[in-house]
């Protein structure tokens, strides 16, 4: 047997490195064992980069060094960020920090190592239009869900023009109504809208794939929302609750490589 004090004395820098290596090997074995990737995906992408985070609470005495994210009874917490490459199982980025640190900020930091044909898969917490522009400009790819408060446009086929034929800027694009799209779909139905532009100012070119949840899926999502509202002290607006019946995906990959019907499957690789 070893006393608590003796155990604490053994937690030096070498012990930390040892435990980091054990964690790395265990996670790598888990990822390689779970990875099941269609050969088409492996052929078309140089790397499949999946970034996600997890957060856990600490005793309040650690709040000075690890501030919590709020919304719970604890004031201290740690967030772990991990970006890994799905095909090899290798780690690209691993970071621990305050529980309140922003996912989007860390996601931007991970864009300094983009290779052509990299595929980025991330959840909504990392959604950032400027970052997606960076990915697109480096001839890499993304496939992810769209934030519901993001504006979506299509080119206006009949814009207004000045006398010299120049298009009037305010009429160049037409904003799509997300709610109207939802009302046109039956539960379980998928629709693709090609050649859309994302963001009021960025106008990021992409494909938009819309899926309306089934009744069973919607009940599960409502239950999850209720848990988050109670746990984090949130209150979802009626519009947000209504639009939560939909999954909106955006992607900058051609339909020949990833058909719209396969996009949810591609996004699900992050699980």
Note the pLDDT of residue 145.
92
Question: Distance (Å, rounded) from C-alpha 116 to C-alpha 140?
Answer: 5
Note the pLDDT of residue 88.
81
Mean pLDDT of the region 103-115: 94
Q: What is the mean pLDDT of the chain?
A: 87
The CATH number given to whatever domain includes residue 126 is 3.90.350.10
- Tell which of 120, 144, 168 closes a domain: 144
Band (pLDDT 50/70/90 cuts) for residue 238 is confident
- The reply to whether 8 falls in a domain is no
Nearest to 106 by CA among 95, 115, 116: 95
Reply yes or no on whether the pLDDT at 146 is more than 90. yes
Question: Distance (Å, rounded) from C-alpha 3 to C-alpha 40?
Answer: 55
Do 113 and 170 fall into the same domain? no
- Tell which of 144, 172, 205 closes a domain: 144
Q: What is the pLDDT of residues 110-138, one digit of tens each?
A: 999 999 999 999 999 999 999 999 999 99
Picking from 44-53, 213-222, 230-239, which range would have the lowest pLDDT averaged per residue?
230-239
Nearest to 104 by CA among 81, 133, 84, 137: 81
Residues in Cβ contact with 236 at an 8 Å cutoff, skipping those fewer than 6 apart: 225, 229, 244
- Total domains in the chain come to 2
Does residue 106 or residue 36 have the better pLDDT? 106
Band (pLDDT 50/70/90 cuts) for residue 33 is low
Indicate the SS3 state at residue 11: coil
Under DSSP, the state recorded for 67 is B
Reply yes or no on whether the pLDDT at 50 is more than 60. yes
Reply yes or no on whether the pLDDT at 28 is more than 90. no
């Amino acid at each position: 047997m070893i006393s608590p004090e003796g155990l604490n004395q053994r937690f030096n820098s070498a012990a930390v490195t040892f435990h980091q290596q054990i964690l790395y090997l265990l996670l790598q074995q888990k990822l390689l064992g779970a990875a099941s990737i269609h050969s088409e995906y492996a052929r078309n992408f140089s790397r499949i980069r999946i970034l996600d985070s997890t957060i856990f609470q600490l005793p309040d005495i650690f709040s000075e060094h690890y501030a919590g994210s709020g919304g719970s009874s604890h004031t201290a917490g740690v967030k772990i960020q991990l970006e890994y490459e799905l095909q090899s199982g290798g780690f690209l980025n691993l970071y621990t920090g305050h529980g309140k640190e922003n996912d989007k900020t860390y996601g931007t930091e991970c864009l300094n190592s983009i290779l052509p044909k990299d595929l980025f898969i991330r959840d909504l917490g990392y959604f950032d239009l400027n970052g997606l522009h960076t990915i697109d400009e480096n001839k890499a790819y993304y496939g992810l869900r769209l934030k519901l408060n993001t504006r979506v446009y299509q080119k206006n086929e009949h814009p207004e023009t000045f006398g010299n034929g120049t298009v009037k800027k305010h009429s160049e694009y037409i904003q799509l109504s997300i709610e109207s799209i939802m009302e046109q779909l039956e539960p379980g139905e998928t629709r693709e809208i090609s050649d859309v532009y994302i963001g009021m100012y960025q106008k990021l070119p992409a494909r938009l794939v819309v899926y309306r949840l089934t009744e069973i899926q919607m009940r599960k999502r409502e239950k999850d929302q209720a848990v988050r509202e109670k746990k984090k002290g949130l209150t979802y607006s009626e519009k947000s609750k209504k639009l939560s019946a939909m999954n909106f995906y955006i992607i900058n990959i051609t339909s020949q490589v990833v058909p719209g019907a396969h996009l949810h499957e591609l996004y699900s690789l992050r699980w």
